[in-house]
């Protein structure tokens, strides 16, 4: 009898489908994934694949981005519950109010936003290229949404050269970390390097040894030879580092660093999505066109400038 993994692989071949998995997913998903990585890497893979179907093991804004980049492909989200609390913190009405309060300033949206929000913004960014995008947009001031912490981190990284006015969104998972958690972790593991995601609170980032996107955190581990690392982002990153670097020791800064939205997908869900071809992402033409302009601007800026990515 075929195992579930074998059945998924056979269905993928039959339907010319690929599975894209974010590195916050349950680690079992990697067994059937064609590509595993951060949101920027996955959006590049979505753009480049020749597959007819994309199964997005991630959250809905990521599947929407894949659909925008590959409109001719069928993009499926295995579980409809996989939203993003941060992306849901701003709707178009709220964005319009935010822009009206700060007129004539370009709006930069984090990729963690809906297609409808992207459609109203000038340029998109991911945590891997946010500094690059804001720096090279050529503006003295930008609006940044939805994440206030990523926006303020970008402003600090640019030495205050660009004023970043942020919307008050945040990630509830990363905000579970408090500065006292960093101190407690330092006391418990004084030699361990603390690696934090810029969605964490600014005070947490200040106390960390390194701040970067999920990919940058993984690259940091690959490119350094410390023995211990403390991971201050979602548990999926810790799980994969532990699996891939047996000669290093990893600690998860807090065991509640889990994004439930990312964890819905099981192998069963991926199998069912492939078999039944559900749940398909659809976007209306006008929203797609305007959201694509916002995403294309990001690719345009980052292809010209090599800082970050």
Applying the rule CB under 6 A, the residues between 114 and 143 that interact with ligand 13P are 126-127
By CB under 6 A, residue 214 contacts ligand 13P: yes
Which is nearer to ligand SF4, 85 or 220 (by Cβ)? 85
Which is nearer to ligand 13P, 86 or 270 (by Cβ)? 86
By CB under 6 A, residue 39 contacts ligand 13P: yes
Side-chain half-sphere exposure of 160, counting CA atoms within 13 A: 0
| Interface residue list for ligand SF4 (CB under 6 A) | 59, 84-86, 112, 171, 173, 199, 234, 259, 261-262
Shortest reach from residue 261's CB to ligand 13P, in Å: 9
The site partner of 126 among ligand 13P, ligand SF4, none (C-beta below 5 to 8 Å per kind) is: ligand 13P
By CB under 6 A, residue 171 contacts ligand 13P: yes
Shortest reach from residue 39's CB to ligand SF4, in Å: 9
The site partner of 270 among ligand 13P, ligand SF4, none (C-beta below 5 to 8 Å per kind) is: none
Applying CB under 6 A, among 25, 70, 112, 192 the residue interacting with ligand 13P is 112
The site partner of 107 among ligand SF4, ligand 13P, none (C-beta below 5 to 8 Å per kind) is: none
Q: How many CB atoms lie within 10 A of CB 59?
A: 27
By CB under 6 A, residue 302 contacts ligand 13P: no
By CB under 6 A, residue 185 contacts ligand 13P: no
Which is nearer to ligand 13P, 67 or 99 (by Cβ)? 67
Applying the rule CB under 6 A, the residues between 224 and 243 that interact with ligand 13P are none
Shortest reach from residue 86's CB to ligand SF4, in Å: 4
Place of tokens 């970067």: 212
By CB under 6 A, residue 199 contacts ligand 13P: yes
Which residues bind to ligand 13P, rule: CB under 6 A?
A: 38-39, 112, 126-127, 171, 199, 213-214
């Amino acid at each position: 009898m075929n195992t579930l993994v074998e059945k998924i692989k056979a269905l993928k071949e039959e339907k010319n489908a690929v599975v894209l998995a974010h590195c916050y997913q349950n680690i079992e998903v990697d067994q059937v994934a064609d590509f595993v990585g951060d949101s920027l890497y996955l959006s590049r893979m979505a753009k480049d694949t020749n597959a007819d179907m994309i199964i997005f093991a991630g959250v809905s804004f990521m599947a929407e981005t894949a659909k925008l980049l590959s409109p001719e492909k069928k993009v499926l989200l295995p579980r409809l519950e996989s939203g993003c609390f941060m992306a849901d913190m701003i709707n178009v009405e709220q964005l319009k109010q935010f822009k009206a309060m700060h007129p004539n300033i370009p709006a930069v949206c984090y990729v963690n936003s809906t297609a409808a929000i992207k459609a109203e913004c000038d340029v998109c960014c991911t945590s891997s290229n946010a500094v690059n995008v804001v720096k090279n947009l050529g503006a003295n001031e930008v609006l940044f949404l939805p994440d206030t912490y990523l926006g303020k981190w970008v402003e600090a990284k640019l030495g205050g050269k660009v004023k970043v006015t942020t919307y008050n969104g945040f990630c509830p998972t990363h905000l579970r970390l408090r500065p006292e958690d960093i101190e407690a972790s330092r006391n418990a593991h004084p030699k361990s390097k603390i690696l934090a995601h810029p969605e964490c609170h600014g005070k947490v980032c200040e106390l960390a040894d390194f701040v970067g996107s999920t990919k940058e955190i993984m690259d940091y581990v690959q490119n350094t030879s410390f023995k211990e690392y403390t991971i201050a982002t979602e548990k999926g990153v810790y799980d994969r580092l532990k699996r891939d670097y047996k000669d290093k020791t990893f600690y998860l800064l807090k065991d509640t660093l889990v994004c439930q939205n990312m964890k819905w997908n099981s192998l069963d869900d991926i199998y069912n999505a492939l078999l039944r071809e559900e749940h398909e992402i659809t976007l209306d033409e006008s929203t797609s066109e305007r959201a694509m302009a916002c995403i294309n601007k990001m690719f345009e800026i980052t292809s010209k400038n090599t800082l970050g990515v």
